[in-house]
């Protein structure tokens, strides 16, 4: 399909642009309620399965850690380090780079240029597989890298061995993330949820069998985690190649290797944007290790991070949903519909965030009990309840604003905003409060929450001031340029 043949669905009346099929003007409370209900149905149709899919994928690593903990404490530490540091680092880069596909596929699908989706998918595979090949060196050299940053030698050596065993998972990331974006752009989210749920069931049953019944230990844990991820990859790939996507998938083509420059630039901007977000809160755990009585500080912040991690899976579902809604509507030339989708989702996640915030404040003395029996750790974690509650509220809104940015194609702008708010403002302020003014863990986290607040306010202002008609008019040009056609 010729990319140059794309045209915006608009007409001109007295010199003004009118977008055909856009959301009509809303009149009165009944009209607003009806429009909100219709938009919420579209949102939850995408967000519900996306949340379930994210939770299932997230649980694969958590379950492997749980099984490793029953092998031994050293094994648990090694798997935890590999899963959070080595695999987490690589996953952040690859998932971020794949979000470029979220912009292009979503806008192309909305513009009814469905034939380009398969080409974009293959271009993303080329870029992410090459990146995975480079990242595999981090896996190979992970033991000395972990020792260099101060990790215990025994843990580093075993984590390094486990990381080498997990290289197949790295290449599974490179294939499955673009496949997921390809399916999400076309609202094929239910099949993704079914595949992720099936993979999780298989993972639990066979991990227990291989690790304990067959006595394969840590090697068996790595084998099963790799297999589970490749079950997801091959199942999604089989669905794409099944003939259900005759328009979107035209077969493998050499066009995937042509004019990759603009695609690479958008992929890199997307990767930087998401990595700055994913790594930000993890820095708190690292900084906590340099405080007085670091074991208590690290344990307390780790308990809080567990709650934030589960909430992030919910936020990620809405991130995916709104990026699809915005990209589809902009690609279709529906600026009012895109703007209304953004307003609707922000109201939804604010309510969810407020409920979670209230729950943490109410259960401030009880929530640490789920993770520790130590009275000292429980008191330390409880003392962080207020900051945790504020973070839960911000963490429900901020990822959704990131999803709006992905849907609209603002990745490069948001990457600069994240760099300034998080690492130029938030981290130094946290270190100043935590170490210089001796506020400890509260100071570190409080300073970094200020960075998140600044970033959220900045994105809110940008979103509210966005000229959606202009964004819709530029959507097709963005498809042509960022899709790889100079």
Q: Return the pLDDT at 170.
A: 96
The verdict on residue 71 lying in a domain is yes
Could you tell me if residue 303 is inside a domain?
Answer: yes
Residues 329 and 475 in one domain: yes
Domain count, the chain: 2
Q: Both 251 and 383 in a single domain? A: no
Predicted pLDDT of residue 13:
32
Q: Residue 221: which residues within 8 A CB-CB, separation 6 or more? A: 64, 67, 68, 71, 79, 207, 210, 211
Q: Are residues 135 and 189 in the same domain?
A: yes
Kindly state whether residue 40 falls inside one of the protein's structural domains. no
Q: Is position 44 within any domain? A: no
How much is the pLDDT for 485? Answer: 43
Show pLDDT as tens, one digit a residue, over the chain (486 residues): 333 333 444 433 333 344 555 676 676 788 888 888 999 999 999 999 999 998 899 889 888 888 887 788 788 778 877 887 888 889 888 988 888 888 788 888 888 888 888 988 998 899 999 999 999 999 999 999 988 877 778 888 998 999 999 999 999 999 999 999 999 989 899 999 999 999 999 999 999 999 888 888 899 999 999 999 999 999 999 999 998 888 888 888 777 777 677 778 878 887 888 788 877 877 787 687 678 777 677 778 877 887 888 888 888 899 889 998 998 888 888 888 889 999 999 999 999 999 999 999 999 999 888 767 788 888 998 999 999 999 999 999 988 998 898 888 788 888 899 999 999 999 999 999 999 999 998 999 999 999 999 999 999 999 988 888 888 777 766 655 554 443
189 and 279 housed in the same domain: no
Same domain, 283 and 429: yes
User: Does residue 377 sit in the same domain as residue 484?
Assistant: yes
Query: Does one domain contain both 321 and 235?
Result: no
For residue 329, tell me if it sits in a domain: yes
- Let me know if residue 337 belongs to a domain: yes
Domain boundary among 223, 258, 293: 258
Choosing from 258, 286, 301, the residue where a domain stops is 258
Same domain (yes/no): 188, 288: no
**3-class SS of residue 10:** strand
Q: Are residues 246 and 378 in the same domain?
A: no
Question: How many H-runs (helices) and E-runs (strands) does the chain carry?
Answer: 18, 2
Same domain for 447 and 361: yes
Report which of 101, 110, 100 is spatially closest to residue 8, judged by C-alpha positions. Answer: 110
284 and 345 in one domain? yes
Q: What is the pLDDT of residue 479?
A: 59
Paired strand residues for 19: 10
pLDDT tens-digit map of 262-299: 778 878 887 888 788 877 877 787 687 678 777 677 77
**In this structure, are 301 and 248 located in the same domain?**
no
Task: Identify whether 327 is part of a domain.
Answer: yes
Parent domain of 467: 274-486
Q: Is the dihedral of CA 272, 278, 280, 286 positive or negative?
A: negative
- pLDDT given at position 5: 38
Q: Which of 258, 285, 317 is the last residue of a domain?
A: 258
320 within a domain of the structure (yes/no): yes
Residues 6+ apart with CB under 8 A from 69: 75, 76
CA-to-CA distance for 22 and 329, rounded, in angstroms?
Answer: 8
């Amino acid at each position: 399909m010729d990319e140059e043949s794309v045209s915006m669905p608009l007409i001109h009346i007295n010199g003004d642009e009118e977008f055909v099929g856009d959301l009509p003007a809303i009149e009165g409370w009944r009209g607003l309620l009806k429009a909100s209900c219709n938009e919420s149905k579209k949102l939850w149709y995408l967000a519900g399965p996306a949340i379930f899919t994210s939770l299932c994928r997230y649980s694969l690593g958590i379950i492997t850690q749980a099984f490793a903990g029953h092998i031994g404490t050293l094994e648990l530490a090694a798997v935890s380090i590999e899963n959070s540091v080595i695999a987490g680092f690589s996953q952040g880069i690859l998932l971020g780079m794949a979000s470029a596909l979220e912009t292009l596929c979503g806008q192309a699908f909305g513009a009814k240029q469905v034939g380009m989706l398969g080409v974009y998918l293959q271009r993303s595979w080329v870029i992410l597989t090459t990146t995975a090949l480079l990242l595999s060196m981090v896996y190979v050299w992970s033991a000395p890298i972990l020792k260099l940053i101060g990790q215990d030698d025994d843990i580093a050596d075993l984590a390094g061995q486990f990381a080498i065993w997990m290289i197949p998972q790295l290449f599974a990331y490179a294939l499955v993330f673009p496949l997921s974006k390809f399916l999400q752009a076309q609202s094929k989210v239910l099949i993704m949820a079914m595949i992720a749920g099936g993979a999780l069931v298989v993972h639990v049953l066979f991990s227990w069998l291989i690790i304990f019944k067959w006595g394969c230990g840590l090697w068996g844990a790595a084998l099963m985690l790799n297999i589970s991820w490749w079950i997801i990859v091959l199942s999604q790939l089989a669905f794409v190649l099944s003939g259900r996507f005759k328009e979107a998938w035209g077969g493998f083509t050499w066009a995937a290797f042509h004019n990759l420059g603009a695609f690479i630039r958008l992929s890199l901007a997307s990767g930087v944007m998401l990595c700055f977000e994913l790594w930000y809160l993890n820095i708190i755990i690292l900084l906590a290790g340099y405080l007085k009585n670091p074991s208590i500080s690290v344990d307390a912040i780790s308990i809080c991070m567990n709650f934030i991690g589960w909430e992030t899976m919910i936020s990620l579902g809405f991130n995916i949903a709104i990026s699809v809604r915005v990209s589809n509507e902009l690609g279709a030339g529906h600026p009012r519909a895109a703007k209304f989708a953004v307003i609707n989702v922000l109201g939804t996640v604010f309510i969810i965030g407020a409920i979670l915030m209230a729950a943490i404040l109410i259960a401030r003395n009880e929530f640490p009990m789920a993770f520790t029996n130590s009275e000292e750790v429980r008191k330390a974690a409880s003392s962080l309840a207020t900051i945790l509650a504020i973070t839960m509220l911000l963490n429900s809104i901020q990822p959704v604003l990131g999803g709006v940015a992905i849907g609209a194609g603002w990745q490069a702008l948001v990457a600069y905003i994240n760099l300034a708010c998080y690492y130029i403002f938030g981290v130094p302020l946290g270190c100043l409060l935590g170490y210089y003014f001796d506020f400890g863990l509260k100071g570190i986290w409080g300073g970094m929450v200020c960075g998140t607040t600044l970033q959220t306010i900045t994105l809110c202002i940008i979103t509210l001031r966005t000229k959606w008609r202009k964004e819709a008019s530029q959507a097709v040009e963005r498809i042509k340029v960022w899709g790889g056609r100079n």
